Chain A
């Protein structure tokens, strides 16, 4: 699992509340990603990071923000959760420490988020 943990693993929240999901890696990889998984859509990229304080948007970034203040942690924040953000969220890393070094991509165990 390339040393990837996600917290919390399950969360139920109410519409309009802020939510932060955490992804933690132990192996100093440069690239980290947040995806969401929904039936019929596979996994879709929300945001990714290519280094400390370096992030960029993915295809479904509206309503989400991210931060990466340390190499090992990549946070995903839902500023004001909506029912459409009910999903399973996966963090991933691409092995490698150099820019442009893309080796295997490994996934965390996922966080199941329910927004009521």
Chain B
């Protein structure tokens, strides 16, 4: 079946460090891929997306590239800030009702 696997957290980084959060997926067909972010006490917000192979999604300095050959959609940021501390969720959507399948989430903590 379809599934998403993310790297275990929590991830703790110093401010201005480079961030990578790994995400791999299993799916039939060609799903769309998403990263959502959840700040403490809030709902989920869409961070970026990619709808086909080799697409790069980007937003707020975060990037992720849809790699069909490795079935991956890793999230990266060149220089993290304290305000990036949150839980990050990778998700896929296959076109049956627009439903999302989420990874388990990765908590990021950025220290000054």
Interface residues of A (CB under 8 A from B): 1, 31, 33, 40-45, 48, 50, 56, 58, 90, 92, 94, 96, 100, 102, 104-110
Contact = CB atoms under 8 A, between A and B. Distances in A.
A56 B105 CA distance: 25
Contacts of A96: 98
B43 A31 contact: no
Contact of B98 (A1, A43, A44, A94): A94
Interface stretch (B55-63, B65-73, B75-83, B89-97): B89-97
Contacts of A41: 104
Interface of B, secondary structure class, is strand
A64 B35 CA distance: 28
B102 A44 contact: yes
A102 B100 contact: no
A76 B20 CA distance: 37
A41 B89 CA distance: 11
Given A107-B36, A110-B42, 4 more contacts: A42-B4, A90-B43, A90-B44, A105-B100
Contacts of A44: 102
Interface of B: 4, 34, 36, 42-46, 49, 89, 93, 95, 97-105
Contacts of B34: 105
Contacts of A50: 97
A105 B98 contact: yes
Contact of B89 (A33, A42, A110): A42
A43 B95 contact: no
A38 to B, nearest CB: 9
A96 B95 CA distance: 13
A50 B34 CA distance: 21
Contacts of A1: 43
Contacts of B97: 31, 48, 50, 56
A102 B42 contact: no
Given A107-B43, A107-B44, A31 B98 contact: yes
A50 to B, nearest CB: 6
A64 B36 CA distance: 26
